[in-house]
């Protein structure tokens, strides 16, 4: 039951994009087509899980024993960037089909704040390792959901009459705001 609540909380109530405003760059950049949105979302799920796992271990076995918790942010950035590079090389060699579908998105995620955000949030909430990874899955799934919803709406924009001054990024930002507002309706359901 707790796992279920964790998922509902991370996907809807505290959606990483729409309620915590992390990862807005790929949210607006990769949401022009549903296919691209799905690829990006899948890549984020994959990287978030890996990054959370690694940063958790680094935090528990390096930073805390040596009393260096104040280096958290910079160390996490370093670890995530190196990890994404490694994963990209690994996939290219070992799992070419997965590399083909995720490959072009991986370099974009290197410095994605949603990934770093999840890694830091699980530390702040003091989850254990299993809960952290589950939270990472759920938060990244929430990212995927937001991205696909946005892509669906933006595909409709293509055939909608929009005032010239609002076309493109402006209407995208307005839409992002409205979607965020809609997700605010979940607030208070679960902490």
Partner 1 sequence: MITASVVTLFSLGFVSAGVLAIASKVLYVEEDPRIEVVTEALPGANCGGCGFAGCEAYAAAVINDPDMPPNKCCAGGPDVAARVAELTGKAAGDSDPQVAFRRCVKVEGKVAKKFEYFGIMSCAAAKMVQDGPDACKYSCLGFGDCVRSCPFDAMWIEGDLVHISPEKCTSCGTCVRTCPNSILELIPRRARVQVFCSSQDKGKAVKDVCEAGCISCGACIKKCPAQCISTVDERIVIDHKACLAYGPSCEEVCVEKCPRNILRCLNPDMISAAPETEPATYPEESHVADLQA
CA–CA distance, 183 with 178 (Å, rounded to integer): 9
Q: Which of residues 90 and 111 has its CB atom nearest to partner 1 in the complex?
A: 90
Query: Which of 74, 76, 70 minimizes the C-alpha distance to 58?
Result: 76
Q: How far is the CB of 24 from partner 1 (least distance, A)?
A: 27
Q: How far is the CB of 56 from partner 1 (least distance, A)?
A: 15
Q: Give, as ranges, the residues between 25 and 64 that touch partner 1 (CB under 8 A).
A: 62
129 binds partner 1, rule: CB under 8 A: no
CA–CA distance, 165 with 168 (Å, rounded to integer): 9
Q: Which of residues 43 and 79 has its CB atom nearest to partner 1 in the complex?
A: 79
Q: Is 142 left (phi over 0), alpha (psi -120 to 50) or beta?
A: alpha
156 binds partner 1, rule: CB under 8 A: no
Q: Give, as ranges, the residues between 81 and 100 that touch partner 1 (CB under 8 A).
A: 82, 85-86, 89-90, 92-94
Q: Which of residues 95 and 184 has its CB atom nearest to partner 1 in the complex?
A: 95
74 binds partner 1, rule: CB under 8 A: yes
Q: Which of residues 78 and 178 has its CB atom nearest to partner 1 in the complex?
A: 78
- Which residue is it, tokens 């076309």? 167
Q: Which of residues 71 and 185 has its CB atom nearest to partner 1 in the complex?
A: 71
Do 115 and 51 touch, CB atoms closer than 8 A?
yes
Cα end-to-end distance, the chain, whole Å:
15
Query: Which of 164, 165, 144 minimizes the C-alpha distance to 31?
Result: 144
- Which residue is it, tokens 């995720």? 102
Q: Applying CB under 8 A, which residues contact partner 1?
A: 62, 66, 68, 71, 74-75, 78-79, 82, 85-86, 89-90, 92-94, 159, 161
């Amino acid at each position: 039951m707790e796992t279920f609540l964790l998922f509902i909380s991370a996907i809807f109530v505290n959606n990483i994009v729409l309620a915590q405003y992390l990862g807005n760059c790929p949210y607006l950049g990769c949401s022009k087509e549903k296919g691209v949105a799905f690829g990006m979302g899948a890549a984020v799920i994959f990287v978030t899980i890996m990054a959370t796992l690694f940063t958790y271990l680094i935090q528990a076995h390096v930073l805390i024993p040596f009393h260096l918790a104040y280096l958290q942010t910079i160390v996490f950035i370093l670890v995530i960037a190196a990890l994404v590079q490694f994963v990209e090389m690994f996939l290219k060699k070992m799992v070419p089909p997965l590399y083909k579908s995720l490959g072009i998105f991986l370099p974009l995620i290197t410095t994605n704040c949603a990934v770093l955000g999840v890694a830091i949030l699980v530390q702040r909430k003091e989850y254990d390792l299993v809960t952290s990874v589950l939270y990472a899955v759920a938060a990244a799934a929430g990212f995927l959901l937001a991205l696909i919803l946005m892509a669906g709406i933006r595909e409709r924009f293509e055939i909608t009459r929009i005032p010239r001054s609002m076309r493109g990024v402006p209407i995208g930002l307005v839409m992002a705001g409205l979607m965020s507002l809609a997700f605010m309706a979940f607030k208070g359901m679960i902490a």
